[in-house]
Structure 1
Protein backbone atom coordinates (compact mmCIF):
# COMPACT_ATOMS: atom_id res chain seq x y z
CA UNK A 1 0.00 0.00 0.00
CA UNK A 2 1.20 3.49 -0.78
CA UNK A 3 1.87 5.32 2.47
CA UNK A 4 3.15 8.69 3.52
CA UNK A 5 6.87 8.93 2.84
CA UNK A 6 9.17 11.11 4.87
CA UNK A 7 11.22 12.33 1.92
CA UNK A 8 8.09 13.37 0.06
CA UNK A 9 6.43 15.07 3.00
CA UNK A 10 7.86 18.01 4.85
CA UNK A 11 7.03 20.29 7.72
CA UNK A 12 6.28 23.65 6.15
CA UNK A 13 6.85 26.83 8.26
CA UNK A 14 3.71 28.93 8.50
CA UNK A 15 2.69 32.11 10.21
CA UNK A 16 2.74 32.28 13.99
CA UNK A 17 5.29 32.20 16.78
CA UNK A 18 8.83 31.22 15.88
CA UNK A 19 9.38 27.44 16.26
CA UNK A 20 12.29 26.62 18.59
CA UNK A 21 14.91 24.37 16.95
CA UNK A 22 14.33 21.67 19.59
CA UNK A 23 10.59 21.58 18.84
CA UNK A 24 11.28 21.46 15.12
CA UNK A 25 13.63 18.49 15.57
CA UNK A 26 11.00 16.74 17.69
CA UNK A 27 8.39 17.32 14.99
CA UNK A 28 10.73 15.95 12.32
CA UNK A 29 11.45 12.86 14.47
CA UNK A 30 7.74 12.24 14.99
CA UNK A 31 7.19 12.61 11.26
CA UNK A 32 10.00 10.19 10.36
CA UNK A 33 8.97 7.53 12.89
CA UNK A 34 5.30 7.74 11.90
CA UNK A 35 6.25 7.27 8.24
CA UNK A 36 8.64 4.38 8.88
CA UNK A 37 6.21 2.59 11.19
CA UNK A 38 3.35 2.94 8.71
CA UNK A 39 5.50 1.52 5.92
CA UNK A 40 6.51 -1.48 8.06
CA UNK A 41 2.88 -2.09 9.00
CA UNK A 42 1.93 -2.00 5.32
CA UNK A 43 4.65 -4.40 4.14
CA UNK A 44 4.89 -6.92 6.98
CA UNK A 45 2.95 -10.20 6.95
CA UNK A 46 3.37 -10.78 10.71
CA UNK A 47 0.23 -9.73 12.55
CA UNK A 48 1.99 -8.81 15.79
CA UNK A 49 4.48 -6.62 13.91
CA UNK A 50 1.73 -4.83 12.01
CA UNK A 51 -0.25 -4.14 15.19
CA UNK A 52 2.75 -2.79 17.09
CA UNK A 53 3.91 -0.61 14.17
CA UNK A 54 0.44 0.84 13.75
CA UNK A 55 0.38 1.75 17.44
CA UNK A 56 3.73 3.49 17.06
CA UNK A 57 2.63 5.33 13.90
CA UNK A 58 -0.60 6.55 15.50
CA UNK A 59 1.19 7.59 18.69
CA UNK A 60 3.82 9.68 16.89
CA UNK A 61 1.23 11.15 14.55
CA UNK A 62 -0.81 12.28 17.56
CA UNK A 63 2.26 13.91 19.09
CA UNK A 64 3.09 15.59 15.80
CA UNK A 65 -0.45 16.98 15.52
CA UNK A 66 -0.17 18.25 19.08
CA UNK A 67 3.02 20.15 18.25
CA UNK A 68 1.41 21.58 15.13
CA UNK A 69 -1.55 22.76 17.19
CA UNK A 70 0.76 24.58 19.62
CA UNK A 71 2.97 26.04 16.90
CA UNK A 72 0.87 27.26 13.94
CA UNK A 73 4.03 27.85 11.90
CA UNK A 74 4.27 24.04 11.58
CA UNK A 75 1.95 22.79 8.83
CA UNK A 76 1.66 19.05 8.10
CA UNK A 77 1.20 18.52 4.36
CA UNK A 78 -1.03 15.67 3.06
CA UNK A 79 -2.17 14.83 6.60
CA UNK A 80 -5.61 13.71 5.41
CA UNK A 81 -4.10 11.29 2.87
CA UNK A 82 -1.74 9.84 5.47
CA UNK A 83 -4.59 9.26 7.95
CA UNK A 84 -6.63 7.62 5.19
CA UNK A 85 -3.72 5.29 4.39
CA UNK A 86 -3.41 4.41 8.07
CA UNK A 87 -7.10 3.50 8.17
CA UNK A 88 -6.66 1.25 5.12
CA UNK A 89 -3.79 -0.56 6.80
CA UNK A 90 -5.83 -0.94 9.98
CA UNK A 91 -8.67 -2.47 7.95
CA UNK A 92 -6.22 -4.96 6.41
CA UNK A 93 -4.87 -5.85 9.85
CA UNK A 94 -8.38 -6.40 11.25
CA UNK A 95 -9.10 -8.74 8.35
CA UNK A 96 -5.80 -10.55 8.91
CA UNK A 97 -6.54 -10.91 12.63
CA UNK A 98 -9.70 -12.84 11.76
CA UNK A 99 -7.67 -15.48 9.92
CA UNK A 100 -6.37 -18.65 11.49
CA UNK A 101 -2.68 -18.14 12.50
CA UNK A 102 -1.58 -20.61 9.80
CA UNK A 103 -3.25 -18.48 7.11
CA UNK A 104 -1.73 -15.09 7.97
CA UNK A 105 1.57 -15.32 6.13
CA UNK A 106 0.15 -14.73 2.66
CA UNK A 107 1.58 -18.05 1.43
CA UNK A 108 -1.43 -20.22 2.24
CA UNK A 109 -4.95 -20.25 0.89
CA UNK A 110 -7.31 -22.56 2.77
CA UNK A 111 -6.90 -26.14 3.91
CA UNK A 112 -6.30 -29.59 2.46
CA UNK A 113 -7.09 -32.89 4.22
CA UNK A 114 -4.21 -35.34 4.46
CA UNK A 115 -5.36 -38.82 5.49
CA UNK A 116 -2.99 -41.33 7.05
CA UNK A 117 -2.46 -43.75 4.17
CA UNK A 118 -2.42 -47.06 5.99
CA UNK A 119 -4.66 -50.09 6.47
CA UNK A 120 -5.93 -48.73 9.82
CA UNK A 121 -7.62 -45.73 8.20
CA UNK A 122 -11.33 -46.32 7.52
CA UNK A 123 -12.64 -46.04 3.98
CA UNK A 124 -14.58 -42.86 4.80
CA UNK A 125 -11.38 -40.97 5.63
CA UNK A 126 -9.28 -42.40 2.82
CA UNK A 127 -11.84 -41.00 0.40
CA UNK A 128 -11.46 -37.56 2.00
CA UNK A 129 -7.74 -37.41 1.20
CA UNK A 130 -6.95 -34.29 -0.83
CA UNK A 131 -10.27 -32.56 -0.14
CA UNK A 132 -9.98 -28.80 0.23
CA UNK A 133 -11.76 -26.13 2.26
CA UNK A 134 -11.37 -22.44 1.60
CA UNK A 135 -12.52 -20.96 4.92
CA UNK A 136 -9.32 -19.37 6.23
CA UNK A 137 -10.71 -18.19 9.57
CA UNK A 138 -10.94 -21.59 11.26
CA UNK A 139 -9.17 -24.91 10.89
CA UNK A 140 -11.81 -27.54 9.98
CA UNK A 141 -12.56 -29.99 12.78
CA UNK A 142 -15.15 -32.22 11.12
CA UNK A 143 -12.79 -35.21 10.81
CA UNK A 144 -11.03 -36.95 13.74
CA UNK A 145 -7.29 -36.33 13.86
CA UNK A 146 -6.50 -39.99 14.55
CA UNK A 147 -6.98 -40.77 10.83
CA UNK A 148 -5.49 -37.63 9.29
CA UNK A 149 -5.31 -33.87 9.64
CA UNK A 150 -6.21 -30.63 7.92
CA UNK A 151 -3.06 -28.86 6.74
CA UNK A 152 -2.65 -25.29 5.44
CA UNK A 153 -2.81 -25.38 1.64
CA UNK A 154 0.24 -23.73 0.10
CA UNK A 155 -0.45 -21.39 -2.80
CA UNK A 156 0.96 -22.32 -6.19
CA UNK A 157 3.97 -20.42 -7.47
CA UNK A 158 1.84 -18.63 -10.05
CA UNK A 159 -0.71 -17.65 -7.41
CA UNK A 160 2.19 -15.99 -5.59
CA UNK A 161 3.27 -14.20 -8.77
CA UNK A 162 6.15 -16.54 -9.62
CA UNK A 163 5.99 -17.77 -13.22
CA UNK A 164 7.45 -21.27 -12.87
CA UNK A 165 5.91 -24.75 -13.01
CA UNK A 166 5.16 -26.63 -9.83
CA UNK A 167 7.68 -29.40 -8.99
CA UNK A 168 6.39 -32.91 -8.19
CA UNK A 169 5.17 -33.24 -4.61
CA UNK A 170 5.52 -36.46 -2.61
CA UNK A 171 4.48 -37.82 0.77
CA UNK A 172 5.64 -40.70 2.94
CA UNK A 173 3.84 -44.05 3.01
CA UNK A 174 4.49 -47.62 4.22
CA UNK A 175 5.74 -48.48 0.71
CA UNK A 176 8.00 -45.43 0.35
CA UNK A 177 7.49 -41.99 -1.24
CA UNK A 178 4.27 -41.66 -3.24
CA UNK A 179 2.60 -38.69 -5.01
CA UNK A 180 1.03 -36.24 -2.57
CA UNK A 181 -2.44 -37.01 -3.93
CA UNK A 182 -1.98 -40.64 -2.89
CA UNK A 183 -1.52 -41.97 -6.41
CA UNK A 184 -2.11 -45.68 -7.01
CA UNK A 185 -1.34 -46.53 -3.39
CA UNK A 186 -4.42 -44.64 -2.23
CA UNK A 187 -6.47 -46.54 -4.82
CA UNK A 188 -5.00 -49.80 -3.49
CA UNK A 189 -5.92 -48.94 0.10
CA UNK A 190 -9.43 -47.94 -0.94
CA UNK A 191 -9.84 -51.26 -2.76
CA UNK A 192 -8.65 -53.24 0.28
CA UNK A 193 -10.77 -51.26 2.77
CA UNK A 194 -13.82 -51.59 0.49
CA UNK A 195 -13.43 -55.37 0.62
CA UNK A 196 -12.80 -55.38 4.39
CA UNK A 197 -15.75 -53.12 5.21
CA UNK A 198 -18.24 -54.84 2.90
CA UNK A 199 -21.32 -56.64 4.14
CA UNK A 200 -21.00 -60.40 4.49
CA UNK A 201 -19.30 -63.05 6.55
CA UNK A 202 -15.66 -62.83 7.54
CA UNK A 203 -14.87 -65.64 5.09
CA UNK A 204 -16.48 -63.70 2.25
CA UNK A 205 -14.53 -60.56 3.09
CA UNK A 206 -11.25 -62.44 3.42
CA UNK A 207 -11.90 -63.93 -0.01
CA UNK A 208 -12.58 -60.43 -1.39
CA UNK A 209 -9.30 -59.14 0.03
CA UNK A 210 -7.40 -62.09 -1.46
CA UNK A 211 -8.99 -61.38 -4.84
CA UNK A 212 -7.89 -57.74 -4.68
CA UNK A 213 -4.33 -58.57 -3.64
CA UNK A 214 -4.06 -61.01 -6.56
CA UNK A 215 -4.78 -58.27 -9.12
CA UNK A 216 -1.64 -57.47 -11.21
CA UNK A 217 -2.14 -53.71 -10.86
CA UNK A 218 -1.32 -53.94 -7.13
CA UNK A 219 1.82 -56.09 -7.52
CA UNK A 220 4.08 -53.08 -6.83
CA UNK A 221 2.58 -52.83 -3.33
CA UNK A 222 1.88 -56.46 -2.37
CA UNK A 223 5.57 -57.29 -2.62
CA UNK A 224 6.31 -55.05 0.39
CA UNK A 225 6.51 -56.50 3.93
CA UNK A 226 3.23 -56.01 5.74
CA UNK A 227 1.37 -56.13 2.43
CA UNK A 228 1.41 -59.88 1.78
CA UNK A 229 -2.06 -61.36 1.43
CA UNK A 230 -1.97 -63.34 4.68
CA UNK A 231 -0.66 -60.33 6.59
CA UNK A 232 -3.45 -58.10 5.30
CA UNK A 233 -6.15 -60.68 6.02
CA UNK A 234 -4.78 -61.38 9.49
CA UNK A 235 -4.62 -57.65 10.23
CA UNK A 236 -8.35 -57.22 9.68
CA UNK A 237 -9.43 -60.72 10.67
CA UNK A 238 -6.97 -62.46 13.01
CA UNK A 239 -7.77 -65.96 14.16
CA UNK A 240 -9.56 -66.11 17.48
CA UNK A 241 -6.99 -68.47 19.00
CA UNK A 242 -4.13 -66.07 18.16
CA UNK A 243 -5.70 -63.50 20.46
CA UNK A 244 -5.72 -65.76 23.52
CA UNK A 245 -2.83 -64.64 25.71
CA UNK A 246 -0.11 -67.25 26.39
CA UNK A 247 -1.72 -69.98 24.26
CA UNK A 248 1.24 -71.89 22.74
CA UNK A 249 1.55 -71.96 18.97
CA UNK A 250 1.56 -75.79 18.91
CA UNK A 251 -1.64 -75.80 20.91
CA UNK A 252 -3.24 -73.34 18.48
CA UNK A 253 -2.29 -75.61 15.57
CA UNK A 254 -3.63 -78.71 17.31
CA UNK A 255 -6.95 -77.06 18.16
CA UNK A 256 -7.37 -75.69 14.62
CA UNK A 257 -6.74 -79.13 13.12
CA UNK A 258 -9.81 -80.52 14.90
CA UNK A 259 -11.91 -77.36 14.31
CA UNK A 260 -11.83 -76.37 17.98
CA UNK A 261 -11.13 -72.81 16.92
CA UNK A 262 -14.30 -70.72 17.30
CA UNK A 263 -15.60 -69.09 20.49
CA UNK A 264 -18.88 -70.98 20.18
CA UNK A 265 -17.29 -74.44 19.83
CA UNK A 266 -14.80 -73.84 22.62
CA UNK A 267 -17.53 -72.56 24.91
CA UNK A 268 -19.61 -75.69 24.29
CA UNK A 269 -16.64 -78.00 24.91
CA UNK A 270 -16.16 -79.44 28.39
CA UNK A 271 -13.17 -78.67 30.58
CA UNK A 272 -12.02 -82.25 30.19
CA UNK A 273 -11.97 -81.93 26.38
CA UNK A 274 -9.96 -78.73 26.47
CA UNK A 275 -7.48 -79.94 29.09
CA UNK A 276 -6.55 -82.81 26.79
CA UNK A 277 -4.78 -80.35 24.49
CA UNK A 278 -1.11 -80.20 25.36
CA UNK A 279 -0.23 -76.77 26.75
CA UNK A 280 -3.61 -76.04 28.35
CA UNK A 281 -3.72 -76.19 32.14
CA UNK A 282 -6.24 -74.85 34.67
CA UNK A 283 -4.91 -71.26 34.50
CA UNK A 284 -4.86 -71.15 30.70
CA UNK A 285 -8.26 -72.82 30.59
CA UNK A 286 -9.67 -69.94 32.65
CA UNK A 287 -8.11 -67.41 30.25
CA UNK A 288 -9.58 -69.28 27.30
CA UNK A 289 -13.07 -69.30 28.85
CA UNK A 290 -12.81 -65.60 29.69
CA UNK A 291 -11.71 -64.73 26.17
CA UNK A 292 -14.61 -66.67 24.66
CA UNK A 293 -17.07 -64.71 26.81
CA UNK A 294 -15.64 -61.44 25.51
CA UNK A 295 -16.59 -62.25 21.91
CA UNK A 296 -20.16 -61.25 21.08
CA UNK A 297 -20.20 -61.32 17.26
CA UNK A 298 -19.14 -63.89 14.65
CA UNK A 299 -18.89 -66.47 17.43
CA UNK A 300 -19.16 -69.37 15.02
CA UNK A 301 -16.22 -68.24 12.86
CA UNK A 302 -12.53 -68.91 13.58
CA UNK A 303 -11.62 -65.26 12.95
CA UNK A 304 -12.36 -62.00 14.71
CA UNK A 305 -13.65 -58.91 12.95
CA UNK A 306 -11.28 -56.05 13.84
CA UNK A 307 -12.43 -53.71 11.08
CA UNK A 308 -13.15 -50.23 12.45
CA UNK A 309 -15.45 -48.19 10.24
Structure 2
Protein backbone atom coordinates (compact mmCIF):
# COMPACT_ATOMS: atom_id res chain seq x y z
CA UNK A 1 0.00 0.00 0.00
CA UNK A 2 1.37 3.42 -0.94
CA UNK A 3 1.62 6.15 1.63
CA UNK A 4 0.50 9.66 0.68
CA UNK A 5 3.12 12.25 -0.05
CA UNK A 6 4.27 14.41 2.84
CA UNK A 7 3.00 17.65 1.34
CA UNK A 8 0.75 18.96 -1.36
CA UNK A 9 2.70 22.10 -2.29
CA UNK A 10 4.24 22.24 -5.77
CA UNK A 11 7.72 20.76 -6.01
CA UNK A 12 10.35 23.48 -6.61
CA UNK A 13 12.52 23.24 -9.71
CA UNK A 14 16.22 22.50 -9.51
CA UNK A 15 17.11 26.12 -10.40
CA UNK A 16 15.25 27.43 -7.36
CA UNK A 17 17.80 28.77 -4.82
CA UNK A 18 16.22 26.65 -2.07
CA UNK A 19 17.19 23.58 -4.13
CA UNK A 20 20.45 24.21 -5.99
CA UNK A 21 22.19 26.04 -3.13
CA UNK A 22 21.80 23.30 -0.47
CA UNK A 23 22.40 20.69 -3.18
CA UNK A 24 25.74 22.35 -4.00
CA UNK A 25 26.75 22.86 -0.35
CA UNK A 26 25.96 19.25 0.59
CA UNK A 27 27.79 17.87 -2.46
CA UNK A 28 30.92 19.96 -1.83
CA UNK A 29 31.11 19.24 1.89
CA UNK A 30 30.35 15.53 1.67
CA UNK A 31 32.77 15.28 -1.25
CA UNK A 32 35.49 16.52 1.12
CA UNK A 33 34.63 14.20 4.01
CA UNK A 34 36.03 11.10 2.30
CA UNK A 35 39.57 12.45 2.64
CA UNK A 36 38.96 13.17 6.32
CA UNK A 37 37.37 9.79 7.06
CA UNK A 38 40.40 7.98 5.67
CA UNK A 39 42.64 9.77 8.19
CA UNK A 40 40.34 8.58 10.98
CA UNK A 41 41.27 4.96 10.28
CA UNK A 42 44.27 4.11 12.40
CA UNK A 43 44.82 4.12 16.14
CA UNK A 44 41.16 4.57 17.03
CA UNK A 45 38.73 1.77 16.14
CA UNK A 46 36.29 2.92 13.46
CA UNK A 47 33.32 2.29 15.78
CA UNK A 48 34.66 4.78 18.33
CA UNK A 49 35.42 7.37 15.63
CA UNK A 50 31.80 7.11 14.48
CA UNK A 51 30.66 7.44 18.11
CA UNK A 52 32.71 10.59 18.74
CA UNK A 53 31.44 12.12 15.49
CA UNK A 54 27.77 11.75 16.33
CA UNK A 55 28.00 12.52 20.03
CA UNK A 56 29.39 15.92 19.06
CA UNK A 57 26.95 16.23 16.16
CA UNK A 58 23.97 15.44 18.43
CA UNK A 59 25.04 18.16 20.85
CA UNK A 60 25.50 20.54 17.94
CA UNK A 61 22.07 19.72 16.55
CA UNK A 62 20.40 20.36 19.92
CA UNK A 63 22.19 23.72 20.12
CA UNK A 64 21.10 24.50 16.56
CA UNK A 65 17.50 23.64 17.44
CA UNK A 66 17.68 25.97 20.44
CA UNK A 67 19.22 28.78 18.37
CA UNK A 68 16.52 28.42 15.70
CA UNK A 69 13.80 28.00 18.34
CA UNK A 70 12.80 24.63 16.97
CA UNK A 71 10.83 22.38 19.34
CA UNK A 72 12.60 19.38 20.83
CA UNK A 73 9.51 17.82 22.39
CA UNK A 74 8.18 14.75 20.56
CA UNK A 75 5.46 12.25 21.40
CA UNK A 76 6.06 8.67 22.52
CA UNK A 77 5.40 7.21 19.06
CA UNK A 78 7.98 9.55 17.53
CA UNK A 79 10.60 8.39 20.05
CA UNK A 80 10.43 4.96 18.44
CA UNK A 81 10.64 6.39 14.92
CA UNK A 82 13.65 8.56 15.76
CA UNK A 83 15.34 5.54 17.36
CA UNK A 84 14.87 3.63 14.11
CA UNK A 85 16.15 6.53 12.01
CA UNK A 86 19.12 7.03 14.33
CA UNK A 87 20.17 3.39 14.20
CA UNK A 88 19.78 3.19 10.42
CA UNK A 89 21.24 6.57 9.37
CA UNK A 90 23.74 7.48 12.08
CA UNK A 91 24.86 4.09 13.37
CA UNK A 92 24.59 1.22 10.87
CA UNK A 93 25.15 3.44 7.81
CA UNK A 94 28.37 5.03 9.05
CA UNK A 95 29.77 1.92 10.72
CA UNK A 96 29.37 0.15 7.38
CA UNK A 97 31.12 3.08 5.61
CA UNK A 98 34.10 3.13 7.97
CA UNK A 99 34.37 -0.66 7.87
CA UNK A 100 34.28 -0.64 4.05
CA UNK A 101 37.21 1.79 3.95
CA UNK A 102 39.32 -0.82 5.75
CA UNK A 103 39.04 -2.99 2.64
CA UNK A 104 38.71 -0.66 -0.35
CA UNK A 105 39.70 2.88 -1.25
CA UNK A 106 37.64 5.84 -0.06
CA UNK A 107 37.11 6.75 -3.72
CA UNK A 108 35.44 3.42 -4.44
CA UNK A 109 33.20 3.75 -1.37
CA UNK A 110 32.22 7.26 -2.50
CA UNK A 111 31.39 5.97 -5.98
CA UNK A 112 29.26 3.18 -4.49
CA UNK A 113 27.13 5.82 -2.77
CA UNK A 114 26.13 7.20 -6.14
CA UNK A 115 23.93 4.08 -6.39
CA UNK A 116 21.70 5.60 -3.69
CA UNK A 117 19.54 7.06 -6.46
CA UNK A 118 18.18 3.60 -7.27
CA UNK A 119 16.80 2.41 -3.89
CA UNK A 120 15.73 5.96 -2.98
CA UNK A 121 13.62 6.28 -6.14
CA UNK A 122 12.15 2.77 -5.83
CA UNK A 123 11.30 3.12 -2.14
CA UNK A 124 9.78 6.56 -2.77
CA UNK A 125 7.58 4.99 -5.46
CA UNK A 126 6.33 2.07 -3.38
CA UNK A 127 6.20 3.74 0.06
CA UNK A 128 5.20 7.28 -0.88
CA UNK A 129 3.45 6.76 -4.18
CA UNK A 130 5.80 9.13 -6.01
CA UNK A 131 5.91 8.62 -9.78
CA UNK A 132 9.23 7.99 -11.52
CA UNK A 133 9.33 10.25 -14.59
CA UNK A 134 10.89 9.34 -17.92
CA UNK A 135 13.52 12.10 -17.64
CA UNK A 136 14.60 10.74 -14.25
CA UNK A 137 14.90 7.21 -15.63
CA UNK A 138 16.92 8.39 -18.63
CA UNK A 139 19.15 10.56 -16.46
CA UNK A 140 19.66 7.69 -14.01
CA UNK A 141 20.69 5.34 -16.84
CA UNK A 142 23.23 7.89 -18.09
CA UNK A 143 24.50 8.58 -14.58
CA UNK A 144 24.72 4.87 -13.75
CA UNK A 145 26.85 4.33 -16.85
CA UNK A 146 29.15 7.08 -15.58
CA UNK A 147 29.23 5.57 -12.10
CA UNK A 148 30.11 2.17 -13.62
CA UNK A 149 33.11 3.73 -15.39
CA UNK A 150 34.22 5.47 -12.19
CA UNK A 151 33.82 2.21 -10.29
CA UNK A 152 35.85 0.32 -12.88
CA UNK A 153 38.60 2.92 -12.65
CA UNK A 154 38.69 2.79 -8.84
CA UNK A 155 38.64 -1.02 -8.91
CA UNK A 156 41.64 -1.09 -11.24
CA UNK A 157 43.74 1.15 -9.00
CA UNK A 158 42.63 -0.36 -5.67
CA UNK A 159 45.76 -1.76 -3.96
CA UNK A 160 43.95 -4.80 -2.54
CA UNK A 161 43.05 -8.31 -3.62
CA UNK A 162 39.80 -9.51 -5.13
CA UNK A 163 38.37 -10.88 -1.88
CA UNK A 164 39.07 -7.63 -0.07
CA UNK A 165 37.38 -5.64 -2.82
CA UNK A 166 34.27 -7.84 -2.72
CA UNK A 167 34.06 -7.53 1.06
CA UNK A 168 34.50 -3.77 0.92
CA UNK A 169 31.87 -3.42 -1.81
CA UNK A 170 29.44 -5.57 0.18
CA UNK A 171 29.87 -3.39 3.27
CA UNK A 172 29.44 -0.24 1.17
CA UNK A 173 26.26 -1.68 -0.36
CA UNK A 174 24.89 -2.39 3.13
CA UNK A 175 25.58 1.25 3.98
CA UNK A 176 23.71 2.43 0.88
CA UNK A 177 20.68 0.30 1.80
CA UNK A 178 20.44 1.50 5.41
CA UNK A 179 20.87 5.13 4.32
CA UNK A 180 18.17 4.74 1.67
CA UNK A 181 15.58 3.31 4.07
CA UNK A 182 16.29 6.18 6.47
CA UNK A 183 16.12 8.78 3.68
CA UNK A 184 12.66 7.68 2.59
CA UNK A 185 11.25 6.99 6.07
CA UNK A 186 11.83 10.55 7.21
CA UNK A 187 9.58 11.86 4.41
CA UNK A 188 6.59 9.76 5.50
CA UNK A 189 3.72 11.85 6.91
CA UNK A 190 4.13 10.62 10.49
CA UNK A 191 7.71 11.86 10.64
CA UNK A 192 7.53 14.84 8.26
CA UNK A 193 5.01 16.60 10.52
CA UNK A 194 7.98 17.48 12.77
CA UNK A 195 10.69 20.00 11.82
CA UNK A 196 13.76 18.47 10.17
CA UNK A 197 16.12 19.68 12.91
CA UNK A 198 13.91 18.20 15.65
CA UNK A 199 14.01 14.80 13.96
CA UNK A 200 17.76 15.05 13.37
CA UNK A 201 18.55 16.03 16.97
CA UNK A 202 16.72 13.01 18.36
CA UNK A 203 17.95 10.64 15.65
CA UNK A 204 21.59 11.63 16.20
CA UNK A 205 21.12 11.18 19.96
CA UNK A 206 19.82 7.63 19.56
CA UNK A 207 22.43 6.92 16.89
CA UNK A 208 25.17 8.01 19.30
CA UNK A 209 23.84 5.67 22.00
CA UNK A 210 23.75 2.77 19.54
CA UNK A 211 27.27 3.61 18.32
CA UNK A 212 28.68 3.71 21.86
CA UNK A 213 27.12 0.36 22.76
CA UNK A 214 28.34 -1.22 19.53
CA UNK A 215 31.84 0.20 19.97
CA UNK A 216 32.14 -0.99 23.58
CA UNK A 217 30.93 -4.51 22.76
CA UNK A 218 33.10 -4.94 19.65
CA UNK A 219 36.21 -2.89 20.47
CA UNK A 220 36.26 -2.44 24.23
CA UNK A 221 36.71 0.81 26.19
CA UNK A 222 37.06 4.15 24.36
CA UNK A 223 40.33 4.88 22.53
CA UNK A 224 41.40 8.39 21.54
CA UNK A 225 44.04 9.73 19.17
CA UNK A 226 45.44 13.01 20.48
CA UNK A 227 46.86 14.11 17.12
CA UNK A 228 45.63 17.53 16.06
CA UNK A 229 44.73 16.04 12.68
CA UNK A 230 42.49 13.41 14.25
CA UNK A 231 40.75 15.81 16.66
CA UNK A 232 40.30 18.37 13.89
CA UNK A 233 38.94 15.67 11.61
CA UNK A 234 36.35 14.56 14.17
CA UNK A 235 35.24 18.17 14.66
CA UNK A 236 35.03 18.77 10.91
CA UNK A 237 32.99 15.61 10.34
CA UNK A 238 30.75 16.38 13.34
CA UNK A 239 30.03 20.05 12.75
CA UNK A 240 30.57 20.74 9.04
CA UNK A 241 29.96 17.21 7.76
CA UNK A 242 26.91 16.54 9.95
CA UNK A 243 25.34 19.54 11.73
CA UNK A 244 25.60 21.77 8.65
CA UNK A 245 24.80 19.21 5.97
CA UNK A 246 22.15 16.85 7.29
CA UNK A 247 19.49 19.56 7.85
CA UNK A 248 20.12 20.76 4.29
CA UNK A 249 20.00 17.23 2.85
CA UNK A 250 16.89 16.12 4.75
CA UNK A 251 15.21 19.39 3.71
CA UNK A 252 16.12 18.59 0.10
CA UNK A 253 14.49 15.17 0.44
CA UNK A 254 11.29 16.83 1.62
CA UNK A 255 11.41 19.48 -1.13
CA UNK A 256 12.37 17.46 -4.24
CA UNK A 257 11.98 13.83 -3.19
CA UNK A 258 14.43 11.09 -2.14
CA UNK A 259 15.38 10.17 -5.72
CA UNK A 260 16.48 13.62 -6.85
CA UNK A 261 18.11 14.43 -3.49
CA UNK A 262 20.19 11.25 -3.81
CA UNK A 263 21.83 12.78 -6.88
CA UNK A 264 24.16 14.50 -4.44
CA UNK A 265 25.72 11.03 -4.29
CA UNK A 266 26.48 11.23 -8.01
CA UNK A 267 28.24 14.59 -7.65
CA UNK A 268 30.09 13.72 -4.42
CA UNK A 269 32.61 11.20 -5.87
CA UNK A 270 33.45 13.67 -8.64
CA UNK A 271 34.10 16.34 -6.01
CA UNK A 272 36.13 13.84 -3.97
CA UNK A 273 38.27 13.00 -7.00
CA UNK A 274 38.83 16.70 -7.81
CA UNK A 275 39.97 17.29 -4.23
CA UNK A 276 42.18 14.22 -4.45
CA UNK A 277 43.72 15.76 -7.57
CA UNK A 278 44.50 18.94 -5.63
CA UNK A 279 45.72 17.43 -2.37
CA UNK A 280 46.91 13.93 -3.30
CA UNK A 281 48.08 14.23 -6.89
CA UNK A 282 45.28 12.03 -8.29
CA UNK A 283 45.69 11.64 -12.09
CA UNK A 284 42.49 11.47 -14.12
CA UNK A 285 42.35 8.58 -16.56
CA UNK A 286 40.18 8.45 -19.66
CA UNK A 287 37.76 6.20 -17.76
CA UNK A 288 37.51 8.65 -14.86
CA UNK A 289 36.96 11.63 -17.15
CA UNK A 290 34.28 9.80 -19.15
CA UNK A 291 32.60 8.54 -15.98
CA UNK A 292 32.56 11.97 -14.36
CA UNK A 293 31.16 13.59 -17.51
CA UNK A 294 28.39 10.98 -17.86
CA UNK A 295 27.50 11.20 -14.16
CA UNK A 296 27.06 14.97 -14.35
CA UNK A 297 25.19 14.73 -17.67
CA UNK A 298 22.79 12.25 -16.06
CA UNK A 299 22.24 14.70 -13.21
CA UNK A 300 21.24 17.46 -15.66
CA UNK A 301 18.78 15.18 -17.47
CA UNK A 302 17.26 13.67 -14.31
CA UNK A 303 16.60 17.04 -12.71
CA UNK A 304 14.26 17.90 -15.57
CA UNK A 305 11.80 15.31 -14.24
CA UNK A 306 8.66 16.66 -12.59
CA UNK A 307 8.45 13.79 -10.10
CA UNK A 308 10.67 11.04 -8.73
Return the TM-score normalized by structure 1.
0.22
Highest RCO, 1 vs 2 (Cα 8 Å, sep ≥ 6): 2
Larger radius of gyration: 1
**Greater strand fraction, Structure 1 or Structure 2:** 1
**Greater helix fraction, Structure 1 or Structure 2:** 2
